[in-house]
Amino acid sequence: MTMQRPQKMKRGELILSAIALAVIGVLWLWTASAGFDVDPRVFVVPFLGGALYVAGLSAFRRRRLLENLQRMPIRSVPRGLVEIQGTAELFQASAQAPFSGTECLWCSYKLWMFAGKNKQEVVSGEVGGPFYLSDATGSILVNPTGADFASRPVIKDIFPNQMSAEVKRTIGIAETGVLYSYEEQIVHAGDTIYVAGYATDRIEPAQMQGETGVSRTLIQKHPNTEFVITIGIEETALPSRIGMYASLTIGSFLILSSTTILFILPFFRPMAWPILISVFVALVLIAVVVSAIIVYNGLVFLRNGVSKAWGDIDVLLKQRYDEVPNLVETVKGYAAHEKDTMQSVTDARTSYLNAQDIHGKLQAETTLAGGLRHVFAIAEAYPELKANQNFLKLQERLSSIEHEIADRREQYNAVVQQYNTRLEVFPDVLFARPLHFVKAEFFRSNAPIEPVKLMMH
C-alpha cells in the first residue's frame, strides 16, 4: 500500500490568491483616497460572487457535456470522448481499503486529524488499479486514477487503535487519544459503474492473449477532457440543476450589486436611479451575450459530435468496402451469371469512396447494403460456395463489422436526434438560424446484412 502526504498549494493557485488579495488592497486604497469610509471586508463580497459564478458555470458545462454524450455498447467504443455503463470486474488483483478494510477493485482515500477546532489532512492516496467494465457486448479496461467521482464517498471517524499496524506504521501515528476522520471512495466487484472519459489505445495485442471479448481501448484521464466516474447510473453524475442555477444567479447578483454600490454609486449619488437603470440594462445585455455564447458552444459541440459519430461509422464502412472486391471475386467463381449483381455492388463501392459529403455516402451505402444482401442470398443456392474457406472468412469478417456498424449507427442517430431537436427548442432556435446551423441527416437502414448459414462439415 502506497500513501502520500497532502500536496502543497500549486504555484498557479498561489499566484491567483496573491492577485486576488492585491486587487482587494488596491480597491480599498482607491476608495479610501477618494474619501469613502469602506470596511475592507466588504470587498470580499464581489470575489465571493465570482467564486459562486465560476462554480455554477463549471457545473453547467459538466451537465451540458454529460447530457450531450450518448451511451454506446462497449464492443463499439471508438477512440475519443465516450460514455459507457457496465459492471465492474477484476482485472489483475483485488485490493483492500486501508481504513475500512473492505476488499475492493480500487479505492482512493484521505485521512484527517482533528486538532481542537481545526481539521488537518494527514495523508491521501489510492490502492488497487485498473478494472474491467463489462456489458452484454464486451469488456473494456478503465483506469480510474485522476477521475472525478460524482458518487458520495464513505466518511467515518476513527481512532488510532482501530487502524491496522501497517497503516499506523506508514503514516507514523503515535498518539492514541487523537480522533481522526477518513474518506474512502471504493469500487467493488459487481458495482454498476457509469464512466464518461477519453478512450485511447490500450496495449499491444500480444499483451491481451486469452482476453476474449475485451476491447483494445482503455478509458483513462486525458488532458483538458472531463473524466467522470460514478457508482450507479448517469443521473447520479449530473450536477444539481437547482444548485447550478442558484450559484449562477446569486454569483451574478453579488458581483453586479456590490460593484455598483462600492465603485459607481458613491461618485454619482445625485444620479443614483439612472445609474441603477443603466446597470440593469447592462445586466440584461450581458445575460443575452452570455446566453448566445453558451447556446453557440453547445450547438458546436453537438455538431462536432455528429461529425465524430459519422467518422466512427465511416471507418467501419471503409473496412467493409475493402472486403467487397474479394467477396465479388469469390462469388464470381461460382455464380458467373450473376454479373449484374456483382457490378452493382462494385459501382456502389466506387460511389461511396468518391462521395464528397454525408448525403452522397448515405445514398451509396443504401445501394451497397442492398447489393450485399442479394449476394448473400445468392450464396444460399450454391453449396460449394458456402463451403469455400475464403468465403467463410469473408462472411465472418463482414458479420463482425456489421454488428459494430449497427451499434454506431444507433449512436449516430441518437446524436443527430439530439442535435436536430436543439435546433428547434427555445432559446437555441433564436440563435441557430442566424448562426447557420442546419439539421443533420439520419442514417437509415432497411435491414441488417445477414450472412449465409454456415455449412456443417
> How many CB atoms sit inside 10 A of residue 280's CB?
12
Residues sharing a CB contact under 8 Å with residue 445, sequence separation 6 or more, in sequence order: 366, 369, 406, 409
CATH topology assigned to domain 294-432: de novo design (two linked rop proteins) (1.20.1440)
pLDDT number for residue 432: 84
Residues in the chain: 457
Q: What is the mean pLDDT of residues 446-450?
A: 47
pLDDT number for residue 207: 43
Peptide bond into 325 cis (omega under 30): no
Q: Per-residue pLDDT for 139 more than 80?
A: yes
- Supply φ then ψ for residue 115, to 5 degrees: -125, 95
Give ranges for CATH 1.20.1440.20 in the chain: 294-432
pLDDT number for residue 185: 92
CA atoms within 13 A on the CB side of 63: 17
pLDDT number for residue 104: 92
Q: Per-residue pLDDT for 3 more than 80?
A: no
Beta partners for 125? 109
**pLDDT tens digit sequence for 52-97:** 888 888 888 788 778 778 788 888 788 888 888 999 999 888 999 8
**pLDDT tens digit sequence for 189-211:** 999 999 998 888 765 444 444 45
- Report the predicted TM-score, pTM, of the whole model to 2 decimal places: 0.64
Task: Give the lowest-confidence range in 21-30, 151-160, 359-368, 430-439.
Answer: 21-30
- Stronger pLDDT, 162 or 409, i.e. the higher one: 409
Q: What percent of the chain has pLDDT over 90?
A: 7
Q: What is the mean pLDDT of residues 339-367?
A: 78
Confidence of residue 143 (pLDDT cuts 50, 70, 90): very high
- Stronger pLDDT, 276 or 232, i.e. the higher one: 232
Residue with cell 467564486: 51
pLDDT number for residue 248: 81
